[in-house]
A and B are shown apart, each in its own frame.
Chain A
Amino acid sequence: MDRAAIIGVGMTKIEKAKVGETFADMAWEAVNKALADAGMTIDDIDNVVTTSSDFWDGRTISCMAVGDASGAAHKNVSCVEGDGTYGAFYGMTRSISGSYKTTLVTGHSKGSQSVSSLITNAAFDPIYERGLGMDMVTACAMQARAYMHRTKTTPEQVAMVSVKNHGNAQKNPLSQLPMKLTVNDVLKSEMVADPLHKLDCSPVSDGCAAVIIAHESVAAKFKQKPVWIKGVSFCADSFFFGDRDLSRAKSLTEAAQKAYAMAGIKDPKKEIDLAEVYDAFTYQELMWLEEMGLADDATAGKLLEKGEFNIDGRLPVNASGGLLSGHPVIAAGLYSMAAVVKQLRGDAGGYQVKKAKTGLVHGVNGLGGQSHCVWILDKDK
């Protein structure tokens, strides 16, 4: 199989409400930043994949709003609906299939113009579940309970994820919510859906991210040192909550194991230096780490307390501040990917981790992590 690398990244600052900017304005900024980062012009890009959601954008054919600003005119183009990690996956296959050499992938969202509870309610079954008033927050509250019950993870341990990630965000100038918090601050914040407090939940955010993926034959042709895609896989679990063990994520385990196998990773705990993990809610970071085999079962809370996931710990997790500190849905996975790319290039600035050879990126689609996408990126080919 041919290989591909990420050779440029660009992101807008994540903000609560970009009132002065349309979807296209955000895309224009992120795309131009990615091109500048890669040392390319739009003429060096031979195809484009935008990532967007008609629901989150309140527009049918939501990709239409950003096509011209993403430089897709007169080029081959497509659109993935879902997290940015899935958009990047399709972008990568377009490069390694031999069809194209350089794929520009973008993802955007304006949470400020969205009503997230209605939008996520529409992801539930229309007959059996929507009428119950389910949305992403209530669904994830159920999952948090199930996970904490099974693993004996404490509310204090869960709250520490928020303390750590908001703290890390203080070193990331693109982050929306850099904050110095205590566990008590989190536990005393407003209860949104028991056991999730306000500071356990990611905020409403606006932002756009872009990454440029190149076929190996041209990966070294431009300015940046390429970051190589070593392994990637995605997998979806059952749809109905009653069909799943909500305290588990077997589709994540499956996707991670396939990505490790593709990357030749035998002991992920030792071989992965850092991870950007989907932390829309605090408990998820701990749960996903265990399900990916980056922490033993029911131990992530304790390891967190020991500082293992801090920027200077054994496995820095969400050193960028993660989604808890800024969560433009859809674009989220591309922000995580760009954060890992910067780490592996040594460009992460204040949130740079010391050892950064191999990094993991994780994105999620659907309710309570029904579908997961796992990437292994590496400094070396």
Chain B
Amino acid sequence: MAKRVAIVGTGQTFHKSHRPDVNGQELINEAVVRALNDANLKMKDIDAIVIGNMDHFEGINYVDCWSVDGSGGTMKPIIKLTTGGTTGCTVAIGGYHLVGSGMFDRVLVIGWEKNSESDTTGAITTAFDPIWDRLVFAGAISGLAAEAQAYMARYGATDRDGARVSVRDRKHAMNNPHAQLRKEVTLEEVLASPMLADPIHLLDVCPRTDGACAVIMASEDVAEKICPKPDWIWATAVRHSYSYLGDADYGRLTSMREGSQEMFKKAGIKEPRKELDVIELYQPYSFGGLIWIEDMGIVGPGEAPQYIWDGNTDMGGELPINPSGGVISCNPIGATGLIRCAEAAMQVMGKAEGRQVPDVNFAFSSGFGGCWWTDMILHGKKKPK
């Protein structure tokens, strides 16, 4: 990189299913003010802003322009990046490149969504090709159910394996005051909850959330002056390979495999299971917590269920996943990927409070969405070479 880049502050709203007390700009502003306070910066210190959400959820066009009263973007460069569910991670990677280019020293990155104002499934359905895909794969859940079924058929996994992931994330959410859903559940409760799309039960899947997240990134020239122990961004990778749902290899997440191989190679990570200390995975449903960590190379194909049953990914385990409670506890879509990034940064910076994993040297955060797309970031305590 021309300039190495670090995260020096983060801020989130207290996410809820419905925030009628604020409009969109005010919701954004809550997260922005918290991030500025976290970094001990003022709005005048910010050189540029990257913002993202999904337009059709709130029905607001030109969000970069509309948002300035909340984002602080008046008379500043502000740019909008949008890639669907991956948006939150996409804007973080955008901030990384804006700072890394040397054009800006301090960039404010914002992801937000007010899902209560949307017909979420109706809006998502329009993402897909109107002739070939739209009538077959309405919304997000049908594709996820197809993936889970394919994985179960290939590797003999069961809906109990999926439910175990849900039990983990919902337990972890108890430690995170920002999570929307904070209620422990048992395996039996997950399996007894209503079936939405076989094998996905209600408690296997994410809610709809109102929320915003802001992250401040700084160049190596100023980062350590702002924050003595910043979170350094080591590498990023993105794969949005498919436009048509029929092109995907159901039961495997190719984008995760290709992206993580590239990212770990760039960072010199050979054994991710041993070298990573914590993962914040954009995992909108429980079965993704099985399939995708295999594609990430944490364990081999079909090995995730046993790895997870053995408690390795619980708090206190070998490689805790989603200490925040993850996406199934909270999902303000445009913010969700950025929350993963912020939570990973907090883990590296030692600011994760009740959900802190001890001694984090490397953390992984991701975004998922679109047509089996994955964006990802590797965070580290040490400054990259």
Enumerate B122-161 residues with CB–CB distance to A below 8 Å: 123-129
Chain B residue nearest to A122 in the complex (CB): B61
Instruction: Pick the interface stretch among B171-179, B198-206, B233-241.
Output: B233-241
Q: Do A24 and B66 form a contact, CB below 8 Å, given A54-B56, A78-B83, A235-B77?
A: no
Q: Does B79 contact A (CB under 8 A)?
A: yes
Known: A65-B243, A99-B100, A119-B61. A55 touches B55 (CB 8 A): yes
**Does B43 have its Cβ within 8 Å of any Cβ on chain A?**
no
- A278 to B67 Cα, complex, angstroms: 23
Q: Give per-residue flags for A334-371: 1 if the beta carbon is below 8 A from chain B beta carbons, else 0.
A: 00000000000000000000000000000001110011
CB-CB nearest in chain B for A370? B65
Q: Of B75, B96, B100, B127, which one neighbours A61 at CB under 8 angstroms?
A: B127
Instruction: List, in ascending order, chain A residues with CB within 8 A of B129's CB.
Output: 65
Is B79 a contact of A239 with CB atoms below 8 Å?
A: no
Set B74, B78, B102: member contacting A238, Cβ < 8 A:
B74
User: Is the beta-carbon distance between A123 and B80 smaller than 8 angstroms?
Assistant: no
Question: Which residues of chain B come closer than 8 Å to A60, judged between CB atoms?
Answer: 54-56, 84, 123-127
Asked whether any CB of chain A lies closer than 8 Å to the CB of B309, the reply is no
Q: Cβ of A176 < 8 Å from any Cβ of B?
A: no
C-alpha spacing A145/B2, complex, angstroms: 47
Mark each residue of chain B from 57 to 74: 1 if its CB lies under 8 Å from any CB of chain A, else 0: 001111111111100011
Q: Which residue on B lies nearest to A366, using beta carbons?
A: B65
**Do B242 and A68 touch across chains, with their CB atoms under 8 A apart?**
yes
In the complex, what's the smallest C-beta–C-beta distance from A374 to chain B, in angstroms? 11
Does A61 lie within 8 Å of B77, measured CB to CB? no
Interface pick from A31-39, A69-77, A182-190, A280-288: A69-77
Q: Does B34 contact A (CB under 8 A)?
A: no
Contact of A131 with B by CB under 8 A: no
* CB-contact partner of A79 in B90, B103, B244, under 8 A: B90
CA separation between A367 and B3, bound complex, in Å? 35
- Which one of B62, B100, B101 has the highest number of Cβ atoms from chain A below 10 Å of its Cβ? B62
On whether the beta carbons of B55 and A86 are closer than 8 Å, the reply is no
Q: Which residues of B contact A267 (CB under 8 A)?
A: none
**What string of 1s and 0s marks CB contacts (under 8 Å) between B370-383 and chain A?**
11000000000000
Question: In whole angstroms, how far apart are the Cα atoms of A350 and B242 in the complex?
Answer: 40
Task: Tell me the complex Cα distance, A89–B104, Å.
Answer: 13
* B240 near A90: Cβ-Cβ < 8 Å: no
* CA A54 to CA B90, docked complex, whole Å: 16
- Annotate B31-69 by CB proximity to A: 1 below 8 A, 0 otherwise: 000000000000000000000001110011111111111
Residues of B within 8 A of A125 (CB): 66
Q: Contact mask B159-171 → A, CB, 8 Å, 1/0? A: 0000000000000
The listed residue with most B CB atoms (<10 A of its CB), out of A120, A254, A366, is A366
Q: Number of contacting residues on A, CB 8 A?
A: 61
B82, CB-defined interface residue at 8 Å: yes
User: B residues within 8 A CB of A197?
Assistant: none
Is residue B325 contacting chain A, with contact meaning CB distance below 8 A? no
Interface centre among B67, B69, B77 (most CB of A within 10 A): B77
Give the residue of B64, B73, B97, B243 whose beta carbon is less than 8 angstroms from that of A97. B97
Q: How far is the CB of A36 from chain B (nearest CB, A)?
A: 23
Interface residue A201 (Cβ < 8 Å from any Cβ of B): no
Contacts of A123 in B (CB 8 A): 60-62, 65-66
* B-side contacts of A96, CB under 8 Å: 2, 101-103
A234 on the interface (CB 8 Å rule)? yes
> In the complex, how many angstroms separate the beta carbon of B380 from the nearest chain A beta carbon?
17
B355-377 interface bits toward A, Cβ cutoff 8 Å, 1 = contact, 0 = none: 00000000000000111000000
The distance from the CB of A67 to the nearest CB of chain B, in whole angstroms, is 5
Residue B61 contacts which of A63, A77, A120 (CB distance < 8 angstroms)? A120
The one of A55, A63, A235 that contacts B83, using a Cβ cutoff of 8 Å: A63
**Cβ–Cβ < 8 Å partners of A122 in chain B:** 59-61
Partner of B241, one of A1, A74, A78, A97: A74
Measured in the bound complex, the distance between the Cα atoms of B367 and A283 in whole Å is: 44
Query: A234 vs B129: C-alpha distance in the bound complex, in angstroms?
Result: 34
Interface pair B65/A1, CB less than 8 Å apart: no
Flag whether A316 is at the interface (Cβ < 8 A).
no
B80: chain A residues at CB < 8 Å are 80-82, 86
The reply on B81 being an interface residue by CB < 8 A is: yes
Is the CB–CB distance between A58 and B97 below 8 Å?
A: no
A57 CA to B7 CA, complexed, in Å? 34
> Contact between A99 and B77 (Cβ–Cβ < 8 Å)?
no
Query: B183 on the interface (CB 8 Å rule)?
Result: no
Asked whether B22 is an interface residue with its Cβ less than 8 Å from the other chain, the reply is: no
- Give A60 to B85 CA distance when docked, in angstroms: 10
CB proximity of B252 to chain A, nearest CB, Å: 15
Contact A239 B240 (CB under 8 A): no
Q: Which residues of B contact A218 (CB under 8 A)?
A: none
Compute how far the CA of A53 lies from the CA of B56 in the bound complex, rounded to whole angstroms. 11
Instruction: Give the distance in Å from the alpha carbon of A66 to the alpha carbon of B83 in the complex.
Output: 12
Determine whether A242 belongs to the interface, using a CB cutoff of 8 Å to chain B: no
Q: How many Å from the CB of B47 to the closest CB on chain A?
A: 11
Query: B258 at interface (Cβ–Cβ under 8 A)?
Result: yes
Residue of A nearest to B52 (CB): A81
Residues of A contacting B76 with CB < 8 Å? 235-236
> What is the bound-complex CA distance between A99 and B236, given in angstroms?
9
A55 to B369, CA, bound (A): 19
Q: Which of A24, A54, A80, A119 meets B79, CB within 8 Å?
A: A80
The answer to whether the Cβ of B1 comes within 8 Å of any Cβ in the partner chain is: yes
Is A61 a contact of B65 with CB atoms below 8 Å?
no
B82 CB contacts on chain A under 8 angstroms: 54, 61, 63, 79-81
Minimum C-beta distance from B223 to chain A (A)? 15
CA distance A250 to B75 in the complex (A): 8
Cβ A236 vs Cβ B64 within 8 A: yes
CB of B111 closer than 8 Å to a CB of A? no
A233 within 8 Å of B (CB atoms): yes
Cβ of B306 to closest chain A Cβ, rounded Å: 31
- A274–B307 Cα distance when bound, in Å, is 64
Closest 5 CB pairs of A and B: A366-B65, A97-B100, A61-B84, A93-B101, A54-B55
A-B contact pairs, 8 of them (CB 8 A): A1-B102, A2-B102, A54-B56, A60-B127, A80-B81, A90-B97, A97-B100, A97-B102
Chain A residues near B (Cβ < 8 Å) = 1-2, 24, 53-55, 58-61, 63-69, 72-82, 86, 89-90, 92-94, 96-99, 119-120, 122-123, 125-126, 233-240, 250-251, 254-255, 365-367, 370-371
